[in-house]
Amino acid sequence: MLSAPTRVVVTGAAGFIGSHLCERLLLAGHEVVGIDSFSDYYERERKEQNLGVARAHDNFTLEETDLVEADLKRILNGATVVFHLAGQPGVRPSWGGHFDRYVHDNIVATQRLLESLRDTHVDRLVFASSSSVYGDAEMFPTKETALPRPVSPYGMTKLAAEHLTFVYMRNFGIPAISLRYFTVYGPRQRPDMAFCRFMEALVEEQEIEVFGDGEQTREFTYVSDAVDGTVKAASADVVGHIINLGGGSRVTVNRVLDTLEDISRIKVRRRQLPAAPGDPRHTGASINLAREKLGWEPRVSLREGLAKQWEWFLAMSPESPRVSRT
């Protein structure tokens, strides 16, 4: 683990995973500089709420800026570790006219950060990649050595940013590690992500839209487990490695809905839709490398994690009095 106290930078600090990471680092005694552009992909209010705990801490500083335009030399000065979580998320919106935003936020922003790190020494750059780089993977569970075959523009931009990171490592010695997150969930999950959409439909007594037959599988990773692995990657002997962080088992979307029905005590009504372009049929992580190199193990089961997210969602939705909070 990182020795405290030290100065760290977290890009994407107001986001779902980034805000949890900031809190974990502050709790460990570190000085945290958060960077976030507060893009309009979803409401600023939710991101401000994400940062509530961090902003109340004396060791937290927020830089509201776009990485492409930021004075990164000043911001990075004195930092020992950079956690690069900023980026434009979303598989389905990455098609069509929004693609330039994905290039700007995922590729160009990463390149600007890497350029700044050429002249600023840090002990570690931890890059947040995605299981979307695998696409329809050739094996399950998928090892880090599997050939990446992204099936969405989003996955392609994350893979490009990952390649850029290692290009700069090989040429300029930036001590980088890439973590491929597998479908992270939990409190503060983005409103466009599946679990949040499912829960919103439940409390509003609406049908839940299921793309495809619901038998597609995903590797779901609880946010505290993802943060644990991310922090461990900052100090473990893993420079130059790509490491999967996954929840430990694959689960069908239908199984998720059954579990959520049981937790919420609300009957799920499904509405089947055609499978969405860019959605892989299955994802599943081999986490043996994370176990070996990071000493990391996912600890939160899907049922436990869903229950925690449901409680958080209800706390954020007080206008739904009919829903049991027990």
Active-site amino acid positions: 154
Return phi, psi of residue 199, to 5°.
-65, -40
Cα–Cα–Cα angle for 84, 197, 320, nearest 5°?
120
CA distance 159 to 88: 13
Which residues does 103 contact at the CB level (< 8 Å), separation at least 6? 157
DSSP percent split of the chain into helix, strand, coil, nearest 5: 40, 20, 40
Q: How far is the C-alpha of 309 from the C-alpha of 259, rounded, in Å?
A: 13
DSSP assignment of 105-163:
IIIIHHHHHHHHHHSS--SEEEEEEEGGGTBS-SSSSBPTTSPPB--SHHHHHHHHHHH
What angle in degrees, to the nearest 10, is found between the helix axes of 223-233 and 16-27? 60
Cβ neighbors of 9 (< 8 A, separation 6 or more) are 32, 33, 34, 35, 75, 76, 79, 81, 82, 83
Structure-token pair, residue 162: 């990952």
